[in-house]
A = this chain, B = another copy of it.
Amino acid sequence: MTEPAARGADFGALLVPVPMRTAGQRIAERLVTAIALGEFEPGQRLPTERELAATLEVSRTTVREALQRLQAAGYVTTRRGRGGGTFIQTGAGPGSEEMIKRTLVPAWDQLTELLDYRRLIEQQIARTAAERRSGADIETIRRVVAEYAHAVGRDASRLADHALHQAIARATHNPRLAELSARIRREVGLGFDAEPYTPHMRRRALRQHPTLAEAVIAGDPDRAARLADRHFSLTDDMLTELRARLHMRTGGENDARSQGQ
């Protein structure tokens, strides 16, 4: 569709706006989104400014700029001194829901598209893994599934989840596919290599993981694909719930220029 016209074609749609947000703004938005998706528990401490600067590959000044935005918006508080740091503000009031909406809505379509992308890729990964897994793969997958069952707490769960999907991705014996999977998962985590997380989701994942793993181990591609498809729609469901809870509308809402400060 959209055949380019003879001359003076319709660049319009695909090549127009270039938002020039500063690094501080982008980092702040990323963190707000992460908070909205439940990446952090209330009261949880973020890495130190110096750590963040190092891992985000950005100067500490920039990190501080982002954190100060969050602080001003009431998402976090900071404490000085040893053992201090930046802490997720517990029970961000209804006032900050507005902020979440403002940050989240413009990115909504993009997020949905990304999750769909991941679902399709992971589906194919599961299918291929079921076709190609070797004895060593089976062993690894078994071990990792067991570890997931024992993991307690959200961080441990995330690591175990990551390990399982990585094990399956590697069982495809195509490094590029495995790398793609890892990259998408990282992106979904909004830079935090972690999924949106709720206890409810963990229970579901806990049920689904062994089944998926068994399908791969058993060498049943279609079943593996079907299960992966269902498994990776978890996040979709969560987003839907979030949208309902925030009474968000994802229609036009094309937030144009909000040149703060």
The verdict on A81 contacting chain B, using a C-beta distance below 8 Å, is no
CA distance A57 to B136 in the complex (A): 45
Cα of A260 to Cα of B170 in the assembled complex, Å: 9
Chain B residues near A10 (CB, 8 Å)? 155, 159
Q: Which residue of B39, B56, B137, B177 is within 8 Å of A18 (Cβ)? A: B56
Render A8-19 as a binary contact track against B, CB cut-off 8 A, 1 for contact.
Answer: 111111111111
Q: Given A117-B174, A120-B172, A259-B170, A155 and B47 touching (CB < 8 A)?
A: no
**Residues 1 to 60 of chain A near chain B (Cβ within 8 Å):** 1-2, 4, 7-20, 23, 26-27, 30-31, 34, 39-41, 44-47, 51-52, 55-58
A121-B124, A258-B175 given as contacts; is B17 within 8 A of A57 (CB)? Answer: yes
State whether B113 touches A176 (Cβ < 8 A).
Answer: yes
Closest B residue to A166 using CB positions: B261
Q: Given A1-B136, A124-B121, A136-B1, check contact A16 B163 (CB 8 Å).
A: no
A114 located at the interface, meaning its Cβ lies under 8 Å from any Cβ of chain B in the complex: yes
| Cβ-defined partner of A34 (8 Å) among B14, B55, B180 | B14
Number of copies: 2
User: Do A194 and B17 touch across chains, with their CB atoms under 8 A apart?
Assistant: no
Q: Which residues of B contact A116 (CB under 8 A)?
A: 174
Question: With a CB–CB cut-off of 8 A, which chain B residues contact A114?
Answer: 176
Contacting pair B155 A9 (CB below 8 A):
yes
Q: How far apart are A220's CB and chain B's nearest CB, in angstroms? A: 14
State whether A15 touches B52 (Cβ < 8 A).
yes
Select A117's contact among B14, B155, B176, B186, beta carbons within 8 Å: B176
- Of the candidates B30, B120, B159, B174, the one whose C-beta lies within 8 Å of that of A177 is B120
The answer for the CA separation of A58 and B47 in the assembled complex, in Å, is 34
A127 nearest CB neighbor, chain B only: B124
Assess the A9–B44 pair: CB atoms within 8 A: yes
Given A124-B121, A191-B18, are A39 and B4 neighbors across the interface (CB < 8 Å)?
A: yes
Q: What are 26 inter-chain pairs, A to B, with CB distance below 8 A?
A: A1-B136, A1-B140, A4-B40, A10-B155, A10-B159, A11-B51, A11-B55, A12-B47, A14-B193, A15-B34, A15-B55, A16-B56, A16-B189, A17-B57, A20-B23, A113-B174, A114-B176, A120-B124, A120-B128, A120-B172, A121-B177, A173-B256, A173-B257, A175-B259, A175-B260, A180-B180
